[in-house]
A and B are shown apart, each in its own frame.
Chain A
């Protein structure tokens, strides 16, 4: 029995580590935005580096898992779906890393009254990503729990849409230069995009889950 599952267990552990990396990366994203809004540049810089490390770890784990799935001809009927899932999930943490990098490069000046709104938006986007990771874990271990988590992804994506819309309205009704308004809207879009990516992956996952139970 041990022999039968030895290779399987190692690969299971790698998939779990990949999901951990994505989840932790998205938590760091939320904290990074909060640090930036507080003006704590030192802490923000630590978060930015940290998310880069998580993204790198997720990338290398994904490649290892993909190689082993193909090399050992594992799960032939769901291999394509699993690979698609891992690659799209990797795009989510890439998006989080890119957003923090944009903050670091462009250093947008966020008005004080808007800062808490950006933090709330980052939290909603982060929650969407966290529930996506939970849905992915369920896909591997408990397929019946996938819909429970997917509907939360959709909920937080809509919440992020609503918050982003409110922020943009505030921006464009404020007494600011147009260039700054556009710059602030641009960062609102950046923060919101994490939830959009999560929703895209959740859409795919819903189909994969149906295929597994059909």
Chain B
């Protein structure tokens, strides 16, 4: 039996369950992450797991025992939390904030023994926060606060740690730092981590198990590799205007609509800035000829209509059929952008496309900058 497990758990704020039939399990040393759109109920699940909310049905077991029957003190010794709301303790040093984590271990007078103090210091050290010990908590930056709150949770010496959106408010550097830290805690201290994250790309990289929360029940559950396939992210978050590339973890905005007026001759990533500039100006475009394994294929697919993208099989010279299709698109264009991709024996056709444009007196721009500064006023009226 897993360390923390739920069976047919129902959660919600009122009598009516928000989410039903939740079956999760986390082993010690593992990270389970809830992903899903805003308001889907990720926090509600986490609040029920930490007994901040009463469950509406089902069972939660912690180390084989019913979580809702544990005495508060023994629950506090096994499970600690990092919450998403900001706290404003007045005139408290970080050391004092962290030391509140010793509450379940101290006596009536709350006296910290020498070993309690060592644990506090150890926790601060673990999050690289020793130098913050005597700083006032409310003078810290968001990244520092989150580290101190993590140290506080650590100080409770938990077997399970529950974090509600621990990366909110953090910049990318602190996000990476925090997730590294969580992975390390799971590995070195055997802590089971349950959290919610907004960043799917980061969630995939840090978690052992992903749980998609959407609608009345858990939509899907599994390893990141099982969950994040195809357009899983688009479906989970209902992305219709724009796209999310799972492989690269990159986001593209909505593709421009209308008839393609510009043809981009790209490849090897040189075309990406051109596609994005055209998208920003709302200019529909066609692109080619790209090998199917070219690194810019996903971006091009996200930003052009399928019929306007000419692809050619990988690892061999561009076929004549592809060239013919591209040539017909080029002849219908009002401008060509040469992205500057180096030409080799396999993509020699692209040079022919440029020559064709010159022959037909279609303006050819060297790179997106030239198009933007000289060609834009001719194209966009």
Q: Are A and B a genuine interacting pair, yes or no?
A: no
